[in-house]
Structure 1
């Protein structure tokens, strides 16, 4: 980073704007009457692994012997089911199709135009009571009468018992009224079974949550298994970790100390039909997931993240984006001041990386530390590693009007 660029950092940081993670791209589907869902039953079973290469290695973004948890299920922002601003998000996602860990989604703003962080993003955990538990832990109960309506291509069937269907011509939602339901678009399917278990699939990833603390995750050659008793496995092309749940693990065959794995949180219920109130998007959010750009507790972009920034720079340039805001976010581990500083440095590093690649978009960098979570860092007083993983992110917000 040049001296002049470093001096510009202070001018780029605006800590008051709430940039958020709206987790949706609007794609193909059609309405249908509720039907039974199919539940996967192939629970993970510990198996012997091939003999790994010697030497201690780390998973990018994680400390020695540590690896990501089985991800939480994240439904799209169900209030953003209007297609008016979805074309840009779809175009960006198509451009980023071969770049893992970067997602484009329509953004949700308040009346003043500020992005609402996490509001309406359905992170599925809860007590199974039929409520929708939001990312901040608040609970909302919804209910309305039965009936059908079709307005501007959006069809809603509400059967008055909590069940119903939704289709906007691009997204299909089936709600069975008992806490279970399906969400489908052209790239992803989410199945929630209402008993704490469920499945998630998209073009590359598969997540299985068995509702008993165990689960599986697959993404290409990456496999994560959590057996629900503190033990589990992580395998990729570069590293193999076997955590035995007794304070020890093997990393590429070498014995290390490692904390037992936390259990996979059970899933909550499918949000009730009353939440499906279409809103117009105010723009697009690009989200860099945890571990894509930075090593554990660092703000220097890794050399192997260059391909990711190259792709994002190409999108911003080819689509002639005039203005955008980059925001950094952390989980709640560590002091407020440290997290704020780390998030600022990471946002600035992304701005600098894009400018180094010739991006002419007017970019501002912002740091919010732990103040804009999109998931609970704790559930019922217990640490939630999967939620903290979602909170560690960098976002780029592109206004719809630019």
Structure 2
């Protein structure tokens, strides 16, 4: 009789996959390994070892916050100082920069709006709107997310096939719903929940009672340890130390069945966050504007561009200027590092020859700081690589 009971307990362990989505104090439960109940029931009655399969835990999608920042007064002054001809040169962009603990944060410069308590960004990747309290929305090609300041919210993870998409709703008390490849889950935040999916239909109540309906099995456990098992086995537990087995309901001694483990809470969603402090602006120059392919010597027709840049920079009271060379990922790390350093030094030298600039230095970063992926969906992206091959002039204003 005890072997038969152990099976019913294992049926409930399948729902512990939900506990993997709970907070740290709810994760004292064993690792979520599901035993297919119908085959396990047959194995239990035959006194043989049951086969087990690992159940994929439905992970919450990672939230990647795009870069965004606001425009400073100093940047506007610089743009006004730029000659009109320079503004029309393809491959030259000016956008705000932000710093975190005095370190420049890489940015793509696609800014829509920024204030002290709200920011909005719209670019090719999607739309981001975030408030100072951490609430906001984020939408891109793969995910739509809305989060409140208390950590509640919704996540819709899209996919090429509808079967693998995920919709997650989380409430502030840890309750919520999950709809995805693992099925449909509802969690009440008090230890109970339901799961309709690969293992059938499971209901767990906060008092430890519950039911499971599988392909061939039906198991019910009440809060006092009584219950029924119908399928490959016929058992009734009366909860008082007795019960019956078999279709003829033969009376036997039977200890009350242990209660079903409680379901953990869903973790709250990570809040969105405001960006670092505005610290200046970046002038980004496509490598084709300044250099021939794979070269570090300034092109003859680029001399006038750098002359105009130097004149405009001279009119700005900058706390510091840094020339930053970048490459794509073609070639070795060492080669790209050297190329980026040589190009940064070449721009620095050309600017200084036009007009002396104070507090200016040059650094190369090789391929380490791309603004966009060099590959998209596993395929090389020439247009993205072109965006990554650039020289940036970081003008620090604070």
TM-score normalized by the length of structure 1: 0.42
Q: Which has the higher contact order (CA 8 A, sep 6+)?
A: 1
Q: For the pair shown, which has the larger CA radius of gyration, 1 or 2?
A: 2
TM-score normalized by the length of structure 2: 0.43
Between Structure 1 and Structure 2, the one with more strand by share is: 2
